[in-house]
Amino acid sequence: MKETNLKAHAKINLGLDIVGVRPDGYHLVKMVMETIQLYDRVRVKVSNKPEIRVKTNLGYLPTDKKNIAYQAARLLLDEFQIQQGVDIQLEKRIPVAAGLAGGSSNAAAVLKGVNQLFEMGLTEEELVERGLMLGADVPYCIKGGCALATGIGEELTPLPSLPKCSILLLKLPFSISTRVVYQEFDQLENTPHPPIDELIKGLEEQSLTKVAQSMGNILEFVSIPKYPKIQMAKEELVKQGAIASLMSGSGPTVFALFEDREKAAFAKKKIEQLPFKKQMYLV
C-alpha cells in the first residue's frame, strides 16, 4: 500500500468540567465528548524521500514541525527507524482553533495512516499511548465515538452515543487560545460545576431532554465574559428552536441540539441572515 485516505472527525463537548490540577500544571478534567459528522480529509502517501511534507488548503497553517500532523508522522517514523518519508495532504473543513479538536483529529488520522502504510502493527491502545505525547485530545480522536474523558483527557470510558438529533454549529470569527483560557480559569473561585453524572445518565437512558438539561461547560465562565458574542450566539440558537446550546471546548464555536433536521435547517437559514460574521455547519 502506497497511500491511504482517512476522515478526521471533529468533536463537541457535551459536558466539560475541571476537577483539579496536577503538580505539573496539567488540568484534571471530567468531560463527555461526542464525534460529529464534520471532518477533514487526510491523505498520507509514502515517499521515497526521507522527509515529511505537509500540504493544506489553508495557506496560513504551518506545514513544518509546528504542525501536529507533521509531529505525529515524525513520532512513528523515528521510533521505527523508517528511512522513507511521507507526504501528508490536509483538506481542512473543521474550523481552526475553534474548540472542535481539528488539529488533534488530524494527528490521530496520521498516526493511523502511518501505522497502516508501514505495517507497524500497533494496536489502537498502543496508538493511544503515542497520541498522548502529542496532545491530551489525541487519544480520544483515535478512538472516537462518545466517551467520558478523565485524567488530563486520556482516560476514556465509552458511553452510549447522543440520542438521535441534529446538531448546528456556529463558529464566530475569532480564535481563542485554549492555554490562556485554562490559565485564566485558575484565577476563578467557587465556579459551579456542570452535572456531568446527570449528563451520563441521560445518555444511558437515551433521553435527549435529560442530555440537553444536563449539558454544561465550566470554561464558559472564562470565555463568555471575554467574548460576549458567544452568549449572544447561544441565545440566538435557542431563540430559533434549539433545545440546548453550549460552547464547545474553550470556544469560540457554539453548538445546538435540535430534535430534527428540518428545525435545524430552518434555524440555520434564519441565523445566516443576521448581520454578524459566522460560519455555520449542520451535521
Q: What would the grid cell of residue 67 be?
A: 504542525
Compute the distance between CA of residue 5 and CA of residue 113 in angstroms, rounded to an integer. 8
Catalytic one of 11, 143, 171, 229: 11
- Which of 17, 40, 137, 143 does the annotation list as catalytic? 137
Look up 234 and say whether it is catalytic. Answer: no
The DSSP annotation for 16-43 comes to EEEEEE-TTSPEEEEEEEEEEEEEEEEE
The answer to whether residue 137 is catalytic is yes
Alpha carbon separation from 272 to 20, 98, 245, 279 (Å, rounded): 39, 19, 17, 9
Q: What is the DSSP string of the chain?
A: --EEEEEEEEEEEEEEEEEEE-TTSPEEEEEEEEEEEEEEEEEEEEESSSSEEEEES-TTS--STTSHHHHHHHHHHHHTT--SEEEEEEE--SPTTSSS-HHHHHHHHHHHHHHHHTT----HHHHHHHHTTT-TTHHHHHH-SEEEEETTTTEEEE-PPPPS-EEEEEE-SS---HHHHHHHHTT--SPPPP-HHHHHHHHHTT-HHHHHHH-EETTHHHHHHH-THHHHHHHHHHHTT-SEEEE-TTSS-EEEEESSHHHHHHHHHHHHTSSS--EEEE-
Catalytic residue numbers?
A: 11, 137
